[in-house]
Amino acid sequence: MAVQKENAEWKNLKFDKNGLVPVVVQDYESGEVLMLVYMNEEAAEKTFSTGYAHYYSRSKKAVTKYGATLGNTQKVMTAFIDHDSDTLLLKVKQKGNADAEKNTFTCFSQQIQGQYNDIGGEMFGRLQRIISEYKKNPEEGAYTSFLFVRGVDRIGKKVGEEAVELVIAAKNEEKSGVISEAADLLYHMMVLLNVKDVKISEVCAELCKRNR
């Protein structure tokens, strides 16, 4: 749900001596950090009155709507202020890439420590984008493209098969088998969700309702 127009809590922000606050921007589905930017009071007002991110460019010394020149947008889904009220966290639904120059979804795509697989739950967001791309641009010989061609019956059957294999793996001692089968199940489940036009964020929202 987007930030409502009547939301005025952003006025609690404490701008620094230059009239700015740093803004951490995350993808609302995967949790990936997209960028670190700044807002002044004008940018904050425009962001929370329109529901779309506006930032202050320190080099251009001007407020601009995110992605305006490229037709991209960041729809604000939720927003948080830190305990000191001097930093803002936005969770956004992004259209386009955060780093247009390098054509990457996030500006933080250059990993300098750790392994690629040390990313946790944000992989669901990445996987959702990868699967969607195969649906839009099928590749001959690609398994995901093959599943889309076969349709919901084939995909549903694979989800069932992988669920059974996960249960069988869980009865064994080896953890690696459970990890492998769980990955297979989650992948096929994500393909099935895509076929039914269901976002992982919608599933997460349902889980949140049940946790109240």
* Structural domains of the chain, with CATH: 9-95 (3.10.20.810), 120-210 (1.10.287.1080)
Residue pair 3/76 in contact by the 8 Å Cβ criterion? yes
Please report how many Cα atoms fall inside a 13 Å half-sphere around the Cα of residue 117, on the Cβ side: 1
Q: How far apart are CA 94 and CA 78, in angstroms?
A: 13
Q: Which residues contact 19 (CB under 8 A, 6 or more apart)?
A: 40, 41
Predicted pLDDT at 2 = 45
Q: How far apart are CA 202 and CA 3, in angstroms?
A: 17
Query: Would you give per-residue pLDDT tens digits along the chain (212 residues)?
Result: 444 445 678 889 999 999 999 999 999 988 889 999 999 999 999 999 999 999 999 999 999 999 988 889 999 999 999 999 999 999 999 998 888 888 888 898 888 887 766 667 788 888 998 999 999 999 999 999 999 999 999 999 999 999 999 999 999 989 999 999 999 999 999 999 999 999 988 998 898 888 76
The pTM for the full model equals 0.73
Helix or strand run (H / E) with residue 34: strand 33-39
**Which residue stretches of 110-174 are H helix?**
123-136, 143-150, 152-170
Residue pair 60/38 in contact by the 8 Å Cβ criterion? no
Predicted pLDDT at 126 = 85
Query: How many Cβ atoms sit within 10 Å of the Cβ of residue 121?
Result: 10
Predicted pLDDT at 101 = 81
Q: How far apart are CA 164 and CA 179, in angstroms?
A: 14
Radius of gyration, alpha carbons of the chain? 20
